[in-house]
A and B are shown apart, each in its own frame.
Chain A
Amino acid sequence: MTRLQTVLQSEQQYLIPFIMSGDPSLEATRELIHLLNEEGVAAIELGVPFSDPIADGPVIQAASERALRQNVTLQDVLTLGRQVRQEGCQVPLILFTYANPVFQYGLSRVVEDAVGCGFDGLIVPDLPYEESGELREWGQKAGLSVIPLVAPTSRQRIRQIVEEAQGFVYCVSSLGTTGMRQQFAGTVDTFLQTVRELSPVPTAVGFGISKREHVERFQKQADAVVVGSALVRKIEELSGALSDPVQRTEALEQIRAFVTALKTK
């Protein structure tokens, strides 16, 4: 069993935060990874900025644009992984990147380098089952979990997707893009239950989860809960302070408080 699966099967750790690498700076991202590691999260999704993020809502789109203005590349994010590993960070790391940067870097090369830099998993949101066969093979060979997404609209596709899943299955809570939502469709419960029954690996649920009530609601129905936009927005609000050596510690503490609040019952 992989480190990722072991962690997700323990009941203590169930939060998977997503952060955009390089927003507001790679140095801030490095500190945020350590902070999240200390907070005892289940894993961290590290986003790679992309010019055309079609699965993302406005908050993560804007974060991606900010990171691109810093010229952050896939290579930079891999290097960041290696750096935090060398600094003793143990938490499972998941690389989150759109397909095109992966294709330009090279499929096998990205898998090998991700493993070499200490990553546990890879999510490519625009590579559905039909297009991800080659990547899954490389992942299997190298020991990098290629994590698939399933959606409420996946219906008859769920079975084939979860059978090939590595690491965990990422369940999309509702239609649309990433971003904060007030409500979730009632059908999401049946959907999550179906995936859990069929899946040989743990499940995580994400898209729209922004507060403690949401985390609690979904914690019973999946092994982990992904919080992206809400955290990215918090980081955006504090970006000035995070980039200021005097205010940085205080800003990090505010983010720590935000993450703690997500987990506290």
Chain B
Amino acid sequence: MVKPHIQSEKEAVQGYFGRFGGRYVPETTMNALLELEEGFRAAIQDPSFVQDFRHLLEEYSGRPTPLTFAERLTEYAGGAKIYLKREDLNHTGAHKINNALGQALLAKRMGKKKLIAETGAGQHGVATATVAALLGMECRVFMGEEDVRRQQLNVFRMELLGAKVIPVTSGTRTLKDATNEALREWVAHVEDTFYLIGSAVGPHPYPSMVKYFQRVISDEARSQILMQEGRLPDDVVACIGGGSNAIGMFAAFIEDEHVRLHGVEAAGKGLDTKEHAASLSMGRPGVLHGTYSYLLQDEHGQVLPAHSVSAGLDYPGVGPEHAYLKETGRVRYTAVTDAQALEAVQVLCRTEGILPALESAHAIAEAIQIAKTRSAADILIVCLSGRGDKDVETIRSRMEGDRS
């Protein structure tokens, strides 16, 4: 008997989570995906691969990351005890490195010498450029022209790390189109190139693979909370763009039926406007970037641009497993506006001395709301997926804008 929110064996082979997932890609890509799946399955069965991955997580990225009891934030919210899973303390400043290390090791094992990646704000691009440098691989990062303009510093960081940044001029010139272009590039160079996808999206096996490399977040958090509190949390909160930190944060808790899981999308300027990135809350199922999942689209199936103050959440699709967890009711998905996220940035700065990434601030905002409704005996863990240094300029201009 398979629990409704857990993938069956047959689904795992085809890459389905219920009716979501699959491989909606041109035939030219199919054999590469089949090889990738085979390579991935073999790698995770191989103790030396698992050992190498663990070694890099510990000795390079600095894992395990702490589970910090946020005492003053807890007082501020006045309810449940709030713990922060500190993914911001990873090397390069976010959870993205976990997956980049895993996939790059896999690429190397499969004999591919070139990495390509898509990036929005540049965080995944930086993580990929970082592991490419570490493992001595060639790296090209596709980035929408609009994002290249907005994120000059991250472009320079990637170049400093030896990567080549390729501006994408098609469509909306943002992450969505950078992903299209990376997929096209992969199709053309499929024999010697590994496409390192940064989120829990894309065709099978990417969503499962990203989950595997990111589940270290919840594996650690679960044992840390058992050590510190002697019991599991009541609530777990994470932000969602494509959904990689969230699936990593939820993975170890999915079977703990009494742990409530909350995914927080970007409501941008509000769910009643057209400017948001809440594909689960406001979208409909459809196909984007090789997977069947929820997405923002018009009545004819044209994909709509997303909006969020946080570039990492500014994506019109979402990973297929999240679509499934929504439909089975295992995870509650909600959304937080730009304004609420900016408020949460300031609250966390002043109560804990931690500057969160704008992405993570969405989860913090929701965590505060949930904590308020719980008692002091309750425990909540929120995934602090990244640090906010990259966002200082955006935060400053938004705060100055609000004052004027």
Stretch in contact with the other chain, from A9-17, A52-60, A230-238: A52-60
Our pick among B25, B188, B290, B297 for the contact of A177 (Cβ within 8 Å) is B188
- Supposing A54-B183, A175-B187 touch, asked if A104 and B299 sit within 8 A by C-beta, the answer is yes
Determine whether the beta carbon of A150 is less than 8 Å from that of B303: no
| Cβ contact of B287, chosen from A57, A58, A100, cutoff 8 A | A100
Chain B residues with Cβ below 8 Å from A161 are 27
Are B301 and A104 in contact (CB-based, < 8 A)? yes
CB of B170 closer than 8 Å to a CB of A = yes
* Complex CA distance for A240 and B289, rounded to whole angstroms: 33
B180 touches A151 (CB 8 A): no
Determine if A175 and B28 form an interchain contact, defined as CB atoms under 8 angstroms apart.
Answer: yes
A116 at interface by CB-CB < 8 Å: no
Does A217 touch B at the CB level, under 8 Å? no
Is A130 on the interface with B (CB-CB < 8 A)? yes
Tally inter-chain residue pairs, CB-CB below 8 A: 123
Contact of A128 (CB < 8 Å), options: B30, B190, B284, B303? B30
Cα distance A181–B184 in the bound complex, in angstroms: 15
A39-79 CB mask vs B (1 if < 8 Å, else 0) is 00000000000111111011001100100100001110000
Give per-residue flags for A94-133: 1 if the beta carbon is below 8 A from chain B beta carbons, else 0. Answer: 0000111111110000000000000000000111111100
Whether, in the assembled complex, B51 has its beta carbon less than 8 Å from a beta carbon of chain A, the answer is: no
A172 within 8 A of B: yes
Residue in chain B with minimal CB distance to A176: B188
Q: How many residues of A contact B (CB 8 A)?
A: 43
A217 to B302, CA, bound (A): 37
Q: Complex formed: what's the CA distance from A105 to B300 in Å?
A: 7
Stretch at the interface among A25-33, A85-93, A152-160, A251-259: A152-160
Q: Could you tell me which residues of chain B, from 285 to 343, have a CB within 8 Å of some CB in chain A?
A: 285-290, 292, 297, 299-303
Q: Does any Cβ of A come within 8 Å of B386's Cβ?
A: no
Tell yes or no: A148 within 8 A of B by CB. Answer: yes
- Whether the Cβ atoms of A149 and B24 lie closer than 8 Å is no
- Known A103-B286, A104-B286; judge A172-B27 contact (CB<8 A): yes
State the CA gap A161–B30 with chains docked (Å). Answer: 12
Kindly supply a per-residue 1/0 record for chain B positions 222-250, scoring 1 wherever the CB is within 8 Å of any chain A CB and 0 otherwise: 00000000000000000000000000000
Interface positions of B from 187 to 229, Cβ below 8 Å from A: 187-191
Docked Cα-Cα span, A126 to B26, in Å, equals 4
Query: Which residues of B in the span 251-291 have a Cβ within 8 Å of any Cβ on A?
Result: 284-290
* Chain A residues with CB under 8 A of B299: 104
Contact A154 B302 (CB under 8 A): no
At the interface, is chain B mostly helix, strand, loop or mixed? Answer: mixed
Task: Evaluate contact between A149 and B300: CB separation under 8 angstroms.
Answer: no
User: Bound complex: CA of A175 vs CA of B27, how far in Å?
Assistant: 10
Q: At the interface, yes or no: B22 with Cβ under 8 Å from chain A?
A: yes
Expressed in whole angstroms, the Cα–Cα distance for A251 and B11 within the complex equals: 53
**In the complex, chain B residues whose CB is within 8 Å of the CB of A149:** 26-28
**Chain A residue with minimal CB distance to B34?**
A157
A176 x B184 contact (CB < 8 A): yes
* Cβ of A70 to closest chain B Cβ, rounded Å: 13
Distance of A157 Cα from B301 Cα, bound (Å): 30
Contact status A74-B24, CB under 8 Å: no
B23, B188, B284, B300: which contacts A175 (Cβ < 8 A)? B188
Contact indicator A61/B170 (Cβ below 8 Å): yes
Q: Are B28 and A65 in contact (CB under 8 A)?
A: no
Residues B31 and A155 in contact, CB atoms below 8 Å apart: yes
Alpha-carbon distance A131/B19, docked complex (angstroms): 12
Please indicate the chain B residues that have their CB under 8 angstroms from the CB of A58 in the complex.
170
Residues on A with C-beta less than 8 A from B26 are: 54-55, 125-126, 128, 149, 151, 172
Knowing A100-B286, A175-B189 are in contact, say whether A151-B27 is a contact too (CB < 8 A): yes
Interface residues of B (CB under 8 A from A): 14, 22-28, 30-32, 170-171, 176-177, 180, 183-184, 187-191, 284-290, 292, 297, 299-303
A residues near B, CB below 8 A? 50-55, 57-58, 61-62, 65, 68, 73-75, 98-105, 125-131, 148-151, 153-155, 157, 161, 172, 175-177
Provide a sorted-by-A list of 9 A–B residue pairs whose CB atoms are within 8 angstroms: A51-B302, A52-B303, A54-B290, A100-B287, A100-B297, A102-B301, A128-B23, A130-B23, A148-B27
Given A52-B288, A101-B302, 19 new contacts (CB under 8 A): A52-B177, A61-B170, A73-B300, A98-B287, A100-B301, A100-B303, A126-B287, A126-B290, A128-B26, A130-B30, A151-B27, A153-B32, A153-B191, A154-B30, A155-B31, A157-B27, A161-B27, A176-B188, A177-B184
